[in-house]
Amino acid sequence: MKQNRTLSHHFQLLDEILAQHTASPLSLNPHKTFSTSFVELGNLITENTCDIQLINSLSHTLERILDAMLYNFPENIFWDFDLMTSSILKQALVAEDNALSFVESWGDKIVSLMELFGRKSEICFRYVHDFTYGFDWAKWVQNEPQTRAVIEPFSLTFLDYLLSKGKKILQLIRVGDSHYHQLREKCYRNPFCFSREPENEYRLLTYLAAQQLIPVPGWDWNAQPIWNKPFCQLREELSLKLHIPKNN
């Protein structure tokens, strides 16, 4: 019983960290307002494994990821961790004796992604939504569905692709690419044709979620990611329908 309280306390600390950043950690789930608490996610983890070392490793890794997200994407709006947590747990259980090293390596890559694409980088994106809700993953799978459709959005394979892509974007920025150019002033980069100011990002993503047009329903522990819809095109079309301003 004491051990269970200790484990729950570790996850409660994550809720407190997030609460210090925002009193309203929003969910993109159309049926609820706030994201699943880390205490609840911790309970789901302990329902699926009794390995104390693995549970502690997962809570530590989630803390590292949360810290990296808060620091590099302080204006992020939606904070669903359900499917990401479920995915890393399943992958760790498959790794068996290598579970702890797998979780550590996975956490390292996620933290590196946050640093590579976040506000302190030359890339300087505003949100982590395109990663956590699978828009990047769906686009990647669509380019080579025969081999990529079986690769999960939070797999090491896809994380490695994103790390490689980020480094290529940095190279493009440094040579003055027309699409990924140097930012003239300290502002967030937006390569999309529509505005991603917070009020517009909120409206567009919540509308997409209500229409079941989110590739990776990050709020659902048991979700099945979907790649075979024209998500990029649909997002642009809906931005026009909702009268989202154009990106200047």
Count the domains in the chain.
1
- Which pLDDT value is given to residue 160? 98
Q: Residue 20 domain-assigned?
A: yes
> Which regions of the chain are under pLDDT 70?
1-7
Report if residue 247 sits inside a domain.
Answer: no
Domain-embedded: residue 12:
yes
Q: What is the pLDDT of residues 194-242, one digit of tens each?
A: 999 999 999 999 999 999 999 999 999 999 999 999 999 999 999 999 9
pTM of the model: 0.94
Does 59 reside within a domain?
A: yes
| Three-class secondary structure assignment of the chain | CHHHHHHHHHHHHHHHHHHHHCCCCECCCCCCCECCCHHHHHHHHHHHCCCHHHHHHHHHHHHHHHHHHHHHCCCCCECCCHHHHHHHHHHHHHHHHHHHHHHHHHHHHHHHHHHHHCCCCCCCCCCCHHHHCCHHHHHHHHHCHHHHCCCCCCCHHHHHHHHHHHHHHHHHHHCCCCCCCCCCCCCCCCCCCECCCHHHHHHHHHHHHHCCCCCCCCCCCCCCCCCCCCHHHHHHHHHHHCCCCECC
Q: Determine the structural domain holding residue 209 and report its residue range.
A: 2-241
Q: Specify if 112 maps to a domain.
A: yes
The reply to whether 246 falls in a domain is no
Residue 248 inside a domain? The answer is no
Q: What percentage of the chain carries pLDDT values higher than 90?
A: 88
